[in-house]
Structure 1
Amino acid sequence: MTSFEEYRWYGLQMYNRDDLYDAGFNQIISRYWEWNNSAVNHTLARRSGPFAELLKKKLPPFLPDMKNPCWYDDDNDRRTVWIEYLCSMDSGYASRLCNLYSGNRKTKKKILRCLPYFMLIGQPKSGSTDLFKRIVQHPDVRSSISKEPHWWTRYRHCREKMPHSFTEYTDYFSYVAETLHVAEKSAKMQIITGEGSQSTLWDHQWWWEYPENEDDKGPGIHNAHFIRHILPDVKLLVILRNPVERLFSEYLYFFPDEQKSVDIFNNYVTRAVHSFNTCLANNSLRHCAYKEATDVRLRLMIGLYAVFLKDWMDVFPRKQLLVISLDNYSANQSTVLSKVFKFLGLRNFESRRTKRTRFNQRRPSSRQIGDMLNETRLVLERFYRPFNKALSLLMNDTSFLWETAFT
């Protein structure tokens, strides 16, 4: 068990500022050095551990003979954990790997560890499930244990669960790692894996959970900085939906046991827009976009795509980011998938699935609610219009204006 004093050391002492990634890192770490030790309680000190540890972590020694970012690590304990998990799975392929490695767990000195080659980072209720499933149908793509580990945004910051370590995050890709370990040399340069956490693009609410940041106007560093520090060459995918339709879809999808109606949704929208405008009267746009309002029911800010993408494009080269419109994906699925495969450096592949599938369809109970009221749609389109225009200019693509008869 790590003692309080050890946690406090991680929070206050462990960094040489000259070794940090950029000025954003200097900003946050300098505050750790300025903390008053007596004001740091056990919970907050424990929270600082995963946050600080990742900034200090050196880039893993990725293997040049693999396309996917992988490296060998002297960690027999994780191998034992992984083999036990592997042997508990019903998959025939998992069983073969279980039999292959169970007898070698004592003699094998190194375990292959992997991270995602690509990340589908946004947005929720925008077709990401369908897109991700079609990507992993490609013969050169292997699925991780979970599509959405939400590690970069939540589970390393003590949000919702106990903090997950970097090692636990890499466990999500152990199935792929074992596949690559036994693969032929040619396959090692083809096989990739990815993840699709739909919180990665926009969710930086952890920033204000650290007491030294609570008075900030906006995050000094964000998820993109951490990811580029560990995965400088990662491929980033984003799929976007008309923010008006996205918001209504999210309202219908979550909390299925809650009473819902178009009138209730209209009331939620009115309150959310008022709350956001009140925030803007006293704070910066980034502050209001990144700090969730506690007095409203809807996540209105997720639709501010231009704000989030601008921050990511300031960190990553444009060539590493592919932004897709759900409208275009739905109308030209084969063409868009070919573009995605090319972006990922994959050979072209025609899926055997000929029937157009829509994952995460509306539940029967929500279909009875019907469409939102025209007055609600008008309020939302007026609210999102300037952000859609900014997105259109940012991407140099008028399709992101999502113009309708109400606009």
Structure 2
Amino acid sequence: MALPDFLVIGVPKAGTTALHAALSRHPGLFLPAVKEPKFFLSEGPPPARGGPGDAQTYQEHVWRRADYEALFDPAAEDALLGEATPFYLYDLDAQNRIRRLLPKARLVVLLRNPVDRAHSNWTHLWAAGLEAERDFVRACALEEQRRAAGWAHFWHYVSQGRYGAQLAHLFSLFSRDQVLLLRYRELREEPVATLDKVCDFLGVATGQLGVVPSENVTPFVADTPVNAVLRALLRTGGQIGHHFPVPVRQVARGPLLTALQRQKGGRPALTPRQRAAVLPYFVEDIALLEEVTGLSYADWLTTGVEPDTIDDGS
């Protein structure tokens, strides 16, 4: 039976897709083609409904253990096995499940300025046509209402960025030498050194990886009347699409998404007003994060936006 030796457990919008793609090229590592199997997010079948598009995403979860183990069947006999699901850090129950099944696993965590992470998360769902709230600050304020309605993790713009509480729980389950804590900017600014750091942590040869792929950069989606109609159609499809076979959904959704994302170019930057409005959600937790890790994250209280130059995947 094949189970992973390591997991990339967090966080969404912080380079996990790019890290998965880079590590997949290492001859001593095996990561399945299915990125984000989400196995540890539930004990059994995931929920059947939630926010726009959630039901379809839930259908993609690899929640049966036999199916999960089968993901690793193609690996070479001596390869180190791993997978990347960036919601595992946020979901404390997932952390508990990992501890029960994989108590010796090595865990890789990528952290990103929580305000920038939240904005990138909102932009991702906006560009996908699923986010109806055009104001980022207002979307953050809607989180409690959406969580109460059962919307999935990816809608939790604020809560996902409270890393201090998440890591405090993680360190109660795993020894610190089992966890490699990285920052998004390390992967962006020093990709080769950061990949070597990951390889050294995992116990495989360094010097094998020389590039971090640029993937999943969300295109700019303008707020126009035509796009408003397209987004409404995509949200409707997100609510009812799980009733149809995947090929039917793809045929219906593909042209709408292509039309919505037809305009290329840089997206609007997070403004000082927006940053000032959202930062208070995280100030207390950043202090906890510093206490838990012994590291300084003071720059998250003062510096500007970290651009999405390598990865904008979930």
- Whether these two folds match at TM > 0.5 is yes
Secondary structure (helix, strand or coil) at the match of 2:107 reads strand
| Superimposed CA distance per residue, residues 176-227 of structure 1 (whole angstroms, 9 cap, x where no aligned partner) | 1xx31xxxxxxx3xx21210012211135xxxxxxxxxxxxxxxxx222222
2:147 to 273, 284, 292: 292
Q: Does 1:143 align with 2:31?
A: yes
Q: Distance in 1 between matches of 2:205 and 2:33?
A: 24
- Asked whether the equivalents of residues 225 and 315 of structure 1 are also in contact (C-alpha less than 8 Å), the reply is yes
What amino acid sits opposite 1:156 in the alignment? G
**Superposition pairs of residues 104-253 of structure 1, within 5 angstroms:** 113-154=1-42, 156-159=44-47, 160-161=58-59, 164-176=63-75, 179-180=76-77, 188=78, 191-203=79-91, 222-253=93-124
Aligned to 1:269: 140
Secondary structure (helix, strand or coil) at the match of 1:114 reads coil
How far 1:230 moved relative to its partner?
1.6
**Superposition pairs of residues 1-400 of structure 1, within 5 angstroms:** 113-154=1-42, 156-159=44-47, 160-161=58-59, 164-176=63-75, 179-180=76-77, 188=78, 191-203=79-91, 222-258=93-129, 264-272=135-143, 275=144, 292-294=147-149, 298-353=156-211, 357-365=213-221, 367=265, 369-399=267-297
Are the structure 2 counterparts of residues 376 and 295 from structure 1 closer, same or farther at C-alpha, using a change threshold of 3 Å?
farther
**How many equivalent pairs are there?**
248
Secondary structure (helix, strand or coil) at the match of 1:126 reads coil
Q: Distance in 1 between matches of 2:181 and 2:97?
A: 20
After alignment, is 262-271 or 234-243 more displaced?
262-271
RMSD of Structure 2 on Structure 1 (CA):
2.8
Are the structure 2 counterparts of residues 321 and 371 from structure 1 closer, same or farther at C-alpha, using a change threshold of 3 Å?
same
- Asked whether the equivalents of residues 240 and 324 of structure 1 are also in contact (C-alpha less than 8 Å), the reply is yes
Are the structure 2 counterparts of residues 175 and 258 from structure 1 closer, same or farther at C-alpha, using a change threshold of 3 Å?
same
How far 1:254 moved relative to its partner?
2.0
- Asked whether the equivalents of residues 247 and 303 of structure 1 are also in contact (C-alpha less than 8 Å), the reply is yes
Are the structure 2 counterparts of residues 261 and 376 from structure 1 closer, same or farther at C-alpha, using a change threshold of 3 Å?
farther
Point out 4+ residue stretches in structure 1 off by more than 6 angstroms: 259-262
Q: Taking structure 1 as the reference length, what is the TM-score of the superposition?
A: 0.55
- Asked whether the equivalents of residues 391 and 400 of structure 1 are also in contact (C-alpha less than 8 Å), the reply is no
How far 1:293 moved relative to its partner?
3.8
Q: Distance in 1 between matches of 2:132 and 2:65?
A: 42
Secondary structure (helix, strand or coil) at the match of 1:319 reads helix
Q: Distance in 2 between matches of 1:250 and 1:233?
A: 31
Are the structure 2 counterparts of residues 260 and 320 from structure 1 closer, same or farther at C-alpha, using a change threshold of 3 Å?
closer
Matched residues, percent identical?
Answer: 22
- Asked whether the equivalents of residues 164 and 288 of structure 2 are also in contact (C-alpha less than 8 Å), the reply is yes
* RCO comparison, higher one (Cα < 8 Å, 6+): 2
Q: Distance in 2 between matches of 1:362 and 1:154?
A: 28
How far 1:360 moved relative to its partner?
1.6
Q: Distance in 2 between matches of 1:257 and 1:339?
A: 34
How far 1:398 moved relative to its partner?
0.9
How far 1:389 moved relative to its partner?
1.7
- Asked whether the equivalents of residues 251 and 298 of structure 1 are also in contact (C-alpha less than 8 Å), the reply is no
- Asked whether the equivalents of residues 107 and 178 of structure 2 are also in contact (C-alpha less than 8 Å), the reply is yes
Q: Distance in 2 between matches of 1:158 and 1:260?
A: 22
Unpaired segments ≥5 residues, structure 1: 1-112, 181-187, 205-221, 277-290
How far 1:120 moved relative to its partner?
0.3
Structure number with larger C-alpha Rg = 1
Q: Taking structure 2 as the reference length, what is the TM-score of the superposition?
A: 0.70
What amino acid sits opposite 1:320 in the alignment? Q
Are the structure 2 counterparts of residues 164 and 329 from structure 1 closer, same or farther at C-alpha, using a change threshold of 3 Å?
closer
- Asked whether the equivalents of residues 118 and 236 of structure 1 are also in contact (C-alpha less than 8 Å), the reply is yes
How far 1:368 moved relative to its partner?
5.6
